Every structure is written in C-alpha cells, then in structure tokens.
C-alpha cells in the first residue's frame, strides 16, 4: 500500500514540474498566435505548484 502511495507522490512531483516547465505553451515559430496568455500561464503554474507540493508532502509523510 505504501509503495502505491509513494508512486502517486512521484507522479505528482514529476507532473507538477513538467506543468510548470511547459506553462508558456509551445509556439512552433508562431508565438503570438498560439502562446498562452499571462493569466493562462499563471493558472498552469499554480496547478503545477499545487501538484508538486502535494506530491512532496505525500513523499515526506510516507518516508521512514
């Protein structure tokens, strides 16, 4: 059971980091037309930070 919960924590940490890293969106050379607005980028960063903090908390609570 503890291994599954730790796996969930690792997935949340990894997903949070990936979400924050990709928050600006991929522009493919047309950056103004397809990029996220500042508000959208901040929402993605906020969700990524919440996932990162939740995953880190899970990992710290299950570590012995």
User: Domains in the chain: how many in total?
Assistant: 1
The torsion angle over the Cα atoms of residues 13, 17, 19 and 24, rounded to 10 degrees, is: 170
Residue range(s) defining the domain that contains residue 33: 2-62
C-alpha neighbours within 13 Å on the C-beta side of residue 52:
12
Q: What is the pLDDT of residue 59?
A: 96
pLDDT in tens, 14-53: 999 999 988 877 666 667 777 778 888 899 999 999 999 9
- State pTM to two decimals: 0.84
Q: What is the pLDDT of residue 41?
A: 87
């Amino acid at each position: 059971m503890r291994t599954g919960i730790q796996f969930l924590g690792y997935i949340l940490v990894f997903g949070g980091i990936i979400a924050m890293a990709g928050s600006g969106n991929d522009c493919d050379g047309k950056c103004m037309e397809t990029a996220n607005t500042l508000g959208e980028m901040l929402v993605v960063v906020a969700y990524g930070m919440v996932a990162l903090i939740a995953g880190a908390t899970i990992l710290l609570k299950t570590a012995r």
